[in-house]
Amino acid sequence: MTSQQNKARLRGTTILAVRRDPLVAIGGDGQVSLGETTVKRDARKIRPLLGGQVFCGFAGATADAFALLERFEAKLEKHKKNVRRAAIELAKDWRTDRLLRRLEAILTVMSSDTLLMVSGMGDVIEPTDGVIGTGSGGMYAAAAARALLAHSELPADRIVEESLGIAADICVYSNREIVVEKLQTTAAARTVDEGIR
């Protein structure tokens, strides 16, 4: 690929996921850039799967990400909603299939009990600190989220929103058109159920 072609590639996106009981949250900005030009400000990069039981954020080529989301949802159905198993099976296919290997995207997957990053290199990563940042502003957002986790009492969804805003102020490929989705964590849901009995 020539440097001119590389400059004209679509890029952008900051995806952040944070776990802080009783919530887990995922969010993304809305900017899509072509080279040095913003071509869309309100893209929705967080998608519900299985009727909102799982949320997936994507960074990278949009068409590639949609192809992967379809495959991931099929894996979830095949493996009876087991998110880890579905992610591992997707990563194996992604790495070994000649056509899939060309897809350029990173998925961040969230359910009530699982938070994962899945890449085409065969990686399925679960963070020990409950924070995943991907995309052009992902590291800025993740750093802000870690600081807010350590020095505030904000819930996970507010941490995601604030951190994405900080990343948007730093990364020229991100903006403040932010979408955040949240789920109650499994431990929190269990506590609520036990309190009802």
Residue 27 lies in a domain: yes
Residue 120 lies in a domain: yes
Domain extent, residue 165, equals 3-192
pLDDT, position 45: 93
- Tens digit of each residue's pLDDT (9 = 90 or more) over 62-76: 778 888 889 999 999
The domain tally of the chain equals 1
- Tens digit of each residue's pLDDT (9 = 90 or more) over 15-60: 999 999 999 999 999 998 887 888 889 999 999 999 999 999 998 7
Domain at 141, CATH number = 3.60.20.10
In angstroms, the CA 29 to CA 136 distance is 11
Catalytic residue annotation: 13
Residue by residue, what is the 3-state secondary structure of 142-171? HHHHHHHHHHCCCCHHHHHHHHHHHHHHHC
What is the DSSP code (8-state) at residue 53? T
Residue 93 lies in a domain: yes
Residue 170 lies in a domain: yes
pTM over 0.85: yes
Coil, strand or helix: which one is 185?
Answer: coil
Q: In the beta sheet, which residues pair with residue 17? A: 26, 132
Report residue 191's pLDDT band, with 50, 70 and 90 as the boundaries.
very low
Residue 197 lies in a domain: no
User: At 162, which amino acid appears?
Assistant: E
Residue 155 lies in a domain: yes
Residue 9 lies in a domain: yes
Residue 64 lies in a domain: yes
